[in-house]
Structure 1
Amino acid sequence: MASSEKRLWRPRSLLQQVLTAFLLVMVPIGVLIHLASQSFSEISQLADISAREAVDQTRRARQLNNLATDMERSARQYAVLGDRSILDIYDDRQQRYRELLGDHAAFLGDTPLIDSLRRQLDALRPPAEDAVEGDSAGLSDQLARFQRFSEQTEQLADQTQQLVDARIDSIRARAERVSSRLWQTTLVLVSLSLLLILFFTWRIIRPIRQLEARIQSIGGEPESQYRKSIKGPLELVNLETRLDWLSQRLRELEEQKQQFLRHMSHELKTPLASIREGSGLLADGVVGELSQRQREIVLLIDDSGQELQTLIEQLLDYNLLQHNRRLNVSSFDVAGVIRDALAKHRLALEQKGISVVERRAPLYWQADRARTMRIIDNLVSNAVAYGADNGELYLSASADQQHLTVEVANTGTPIAAQDRAHLFEPFYQGASQRKGPLKGSGIGLSVAAESARAQHGNLALIDDPAQRCEVCFRLVLPWIDDASSGDNSSGDNIASSAMDTSQETLAGT
């Protein structure tokens, strides 16, 4: 059930949050597009104005030059011919020059050059007829004025070109300022968009990571570490509520499983003990001597009871391993552990005629002895159950500075390729048939693999390096430092002893 805090605080849905994030991220981008459009429009307008002014002023300056030249030509023609129609043409060109000069003054301003041209324009007249006929010096002086007028008109064209160039440079500088301002705005707005993207990404990823931690807590980590409620999109908050329900349901199922296993072990072991006790009394001849055939049946009942007890113990071991991850680290003799495991299956090995080759030389290692014993015991039990009658069983052990390697190999039917991937899964039973009156539970190898992983080791099915057997399991365990042990020197001596004896040969039983 959701907490009261969750009920009071209702975040937006995931869809609303994604849409809001998209809109907010698009706002700076939209502003940037708008500013860029305005800036490009401004630059384009400036360029258009600059081009038009340059063309107009350059054309006007060229027209003024042409008019000055035409006025001088008309004056010379009138001085030579004295035709009144030429004077009319001169007056038209002078008036046109005056108009263009006025327009040009609006662009350049009332500069001294324009004032000088205006004064000269008012003073310039074509030579009179009497000057044409008799006063050659006056004619030359009047024509020289036209020459000075043309020269100043050319100066006006040069000033116009310089001013046009200055205007173009000014517009270029302004365009550069607009471009620089646009780049700065782009940097700010894009950074803002990135910050918004990161913020909303964090808003979505944070509750997902909290849900991941919550799932990990359901998988076995301490529950109290992840009790902080999730604040985020409504769908993820609802998902946390469902996870809370699932966690509670899993705890209830786990309690039911524990209760079932406790009751099952009690209910099965009690009658099984009576059966084994009765079969033992019969085998001892307490109620009378048994015939050979009867003794075989009684022994078969006793062996089956022993196998059933082993299956029950494996179930309990599997359940214990699922909940007890603590290691009981100690120093022990690996060869002694192998002998103890073989002793538990001595009668079964003799009954099937399996010859055993084991390591007898001492090999000291530091790990969890009980778990290591459980691994080797399950591997030997597996070899007895599935190994060939009158076959062979090899147990070898070696060690280097970091790892202990134990190999258990037996003759018999090789494990099918399709079973190898599922070999260490609990309750999985492959194609190979178990030899004996009882069917296995399928958790022996799972218990062994779990015991190896609990010690940071590995249990794997390999090809027999010596090529003596069809089935070979290899156990690799690291040296485990016991943090609670205060005598480190003894551990060093044991490791040294393990190195000295790691390569000793095997002795047959």
Structure 2
Amino acid sequence: MQLGSLRQLTLVSFVVVLVPLALLVGYSQIKLSEIGQIATYEAEYSVNTVRRVSKMEGLSVDIERLVRQYHIVKKDALKPLIGKSTQRFTEFQIPVCDQLLEKRNCSSLTERVIWINQYSGTEDQLLIDAQLAEFKQNLSDLSAQVDHSLDQRIQDQQIYVSSVRQTQFWLTACFLGASFLLIALGSKAILKPVSRLERIITAISKQEESLPPISTSGPKELIVLEQKLHQLAGRLIQLENLRHALLRHASHELKTPLASIKEGCSLLTEQVVGPLNADQEEVLSLLNSSTDRLNLLIVQLLDYNLLLQQAKPVFSKIDTKNLFDEFVTDNSLAIKQHDNQVEMKIELPTIFADQKLFRRILDNLVSNAIAHGSRGRPINIRLYQQGNMQILDFANRGQKIAMEQRHALFQPFSRGEGVRNDRVTGSGLGLSIVADCARMMFGKAEIVDVDYADVCIRVQIPSKEASI
């Protein structure tokens, strides 16, 4: 059956789950009603049977007394009384005997009643005593047989109730198991289209080239949502391409006039076109500073654009000694200009990461440390393993960063309150690039407190086992 909406799917799943429970409740009600009826019937039967036997015992005393009186006084008026008592006795005896399987006591008792009805008063005393004693004994045996029969019926009821209880237990187990199975199937049916949405959202977040296809069956609300997610993904791709193109073209278009401006400033600085007075040299100094800042911004924009265009990281084992030697060599001039020293503690011979992304992290971190750290103070670099994470600590001395500002510094175009050592206003992309590079390698970047430096940026990247 094809369900048209999520509401219908949920409602049908709920009803289907309730079916076994409804059957269990119905069966329980039927059996409970049967046990109630049996209990009522058995109670009435027991009370009536005991009442009849009690009446029979009372009548037997009256019959014995009337027979002995008739034997002594020989009055004909006693004969009808004897007949009436034996008749009532027989009326009570017949229903009792009908319920008994063994009829021997009933037959003997019936023979004694017949003899009493036919008694003419001529028999001797010994015969009367014998017949009445046999009558009493038969009645006593019948009473004992009735008691045994009632006990047996009670035992049969207990056995029946026990069997119903056992059957109820197994049915409850089966029906509850069926309900749990239906709950699992219903949950799977409900969560299956939701999991498809989750896969689509995950693919969008990871910027995968292709998305899972739109479902052809399922709740219509979720199918419409899948279509909207596909449209959103297409729109995001367009915006991303537009942003890349804008950054690329803007950066390249700015570099050409910037080169001309720098060349002109260089010629003026060297006084090729003529000598400069003090005011002109001051203006020229401002122009050189502004062109340097603009060049830095363009370089960072190009670097950021290049980072955005890299779809997926390429992991490999990197030799840390060669990597850090190249890094220090390439940045040695900038480090010496600010009188800094690099103190490295590399505890890992190799690191599992994307080489380009990791190198970009190092370059941006050292640039940040030089720009904001204290001159003449060491820059500490430590690389070590902690659990499944490869940890890079990049620390320097300088102005401490307030706790409420730390998260914002990793956002694009976000700058701290401190002033750069080169007096150039930064673009606010350095730490953002670090965070994005770490995130692309399934890691993260954060600012932590350490006891040996004022500022420490920690980059965590999963090792090979953790990332796989």
TM-score by length of 2: 0.85
Question: Could you give the per-residue CA deviations for residues 285-335 of structure 1, whole angstroms, max 9, x where no partner exists?
Answer: 322344455445434423322222221221222232233243485431525
- Secondary structure of 2:410's aligned partner: coil
**Which residue pairs with 2:139 in the alignment?**
153
Taking a change above 3 Å as real, the CA distance of residues 222 and 464 of structure 1, as seen in their structure-2 partners, is closer
Deviation at 1:344, TM superposition (A): 4.0
**Which residue pairs with 2:330 in the alignment?**
340
Question: Could you give the per-residue CA deviations for residues 134-154 of structure 1, whole angstroms, max 9, x where no partner exists?
Answer: x8xx12212221111110111
Q: Is the 8 A contact 2:413 2:428 kept in 1?
A: yes
RMSD: 3.2
Q: Is the 8 A contact 1:127 1:142 kept in 2?
A: no
Q: Is the 8 A contact 1:210 1:230 kept in 2?
A: no
Taking a change above 3 Å as real, the CA distance of residues 312 and 230 of structure 1, as seen in their structure-2 partners, is farther
Is 1:219 the counterpart of 2:205? The answer is yes
The one of 379, 382, 387 equivalent to 1:395 is 379
Is 1:209 the counterpart of 2:195? The answer is yes
- Aligned AA for 2:90? R
Q: Is the 8 A contact 1:87 1:126 kept in 2?
A: no
Give identity over the alignment, percent.
31
The worse-fitting range, judged by mean Cα deviation, of 369-378 and 172-181 is: 369-378
Q: Is the 8 A contact 2:247 2:302 kept in 1?
A: yes
Please give the residue correspondences for 1:278-297 in structure 2 after superposition, counting only pairs within 5 Å. Answer: 278-291=264-277, 294-297=280-283
**Which residue pairs with 1:101 in the alignment?**
93
- Aligned AA for 1:77? Q
Q: Is the 8 A contact 2:346 2:384 kept in 1?
A: no
Please give the residue correspondences for 1:150-189 in structure 2 after superposition, counting only pairs within 5 Å. Answer: 150-189=136-175
- Secondary structure of 2:401's aligned partner: coil
Distance 1:474 1:172 in 2: 76
Deviation at 1:66, TM superposition (A): 2.4
**Which residue pairs with 1:358 in the alignment?**
342
**Which residue pairs with 2:16 in the alignment?**
24
Question: Could you give the per-residue CA deviations for residues 444-481 of structure 1, whole angstroms, max 9, x where no partner exists?
Answer: 111123334455665432335235xx434345678889
Taking a change above 3 Å as real, the CA distance of residues 150 and 11 of structure 1, as seen in their structure-2 partners, is closer
**Which residue pairs with 1:487 in the alignment?**
none
**Which residue pairs with 1:471 in the alignment?**
455
Deviation at 1:443, TM superposition (A): 1.3
Q: Is the 8 A contact 1:94 1:121 kept in 2?
A: yes
**Which residue pairs with 2:44 in the alignment?**
52
Question: Could you give the per-residue CA deviations for residues 7-49 of structure 1, whole angstroms, max 9, x where no partner exists?
Answer: xx97421111222222222232222222111100001111111
The worse-fitting range, judged by mean Cα deviation, of 15-24 and 265-274 is: 15-24
**Which residue pairs with 2:30 in the alignment?**
38
Deviation at 1:201, TM superposition (A): 1.0
Deviation at 1:419, TM superposition (A): 0.5
The one of 105, 115, 129 equivalent to 1:123 is 115
Is 1:408 the counterpart of 2:395? The answer is yes
Question: Could you give the per-residue CA deviations for residues 192-225 of structure 1, whole angstroms, max 9, x where no partner exists?
Answer: 3222222221111011011000011111253436
- Secondary structure of 1:226's aligned partner: coil
Distance 1:345 1:170 in 2: 100
- Secondary structure of 1:355's aligned partner: coil
Distance 2:172 2:391 in 1: 64
* Larger RCO: 1 or 2 (CA < 8 Å, sep 6+): 1
Distance 2:445 2:101 in 1: 99
Unaligned runs of 5+ in 1: 1-8, 482-509
Is 1:381 the counterpart of 2:374? The answer is no
- Aligned AA for 2:331? A
Aligned length: 456
**Which residue pairs with 1:75 in the alignment?**
67
Q: Is the 8 A contact 1:458 1:477 kept in 2?
A: yes
Q: Is the 8 A contact 1:308 1:438 kept in 2?
A: no
- Secondary structure of 2:425's aligned partner: coil
**Which residue pairs with 1:15 in the alignment?**
7
Q: Is the 8 A contact 1:230 1:240 kept in 2?
A: no
Distance 2:10 2:69 in 1: 87
- Aligned AA for 1:407? F
Question: Could you give the per-residue CA deviations for residues 247-302 of structure 1, whole angstroms, max 9, x where no partner exists?
Answer: 11111111111111121112111111111121122223322344455445434423
The worse-fitting range, judged by mean Cα deviation, of 295-304 and 413-422 is: 295-304
Q: Is the 8 A contact 1:11 1:233 kept in 2?
A: yes
TM-score by length of 1: 0.79
- Secondary structure of 1:396's aligned partner: strand
Is 1:140 the counterpart of 2:126? The answer is yes
- Secondary structure of 2:341's aligned partner: strand
**Which residue pairs with 2:177 in the alignment?**
191
Taking a change above 3 Å as real, the CA distance of residues 80 and 187 of structure 1, as seen in their structure-2 partners, is same
Q: Is the 8 A contact 1:409 1:473 kept in 2?
A: no
- Secondary structure of 1:224's aligned partner: coil
- Secondary structure of 2:396's aligned partner: strand
The one of 97, 111, 128 equivalent to 2:103 is 111
**Which residue pairs with 1:241 in the alignment?**
227
- Aligned AA for 1:355? D
Taking a change above 3 Å as real, the CA distance of residues 475 and 283 of structure 1, as seen in their structure-2 partners, is farther
Taking a change above 3 Å as real, the CA distance of residues 147 and 361 of structure 1, as seen in their structure-2 partners, is closer
- Aligned AA for 2:43? A
- Secondary structure of 2:167's aligned partner: helix
Unaligned runs of 5+ in 2: none
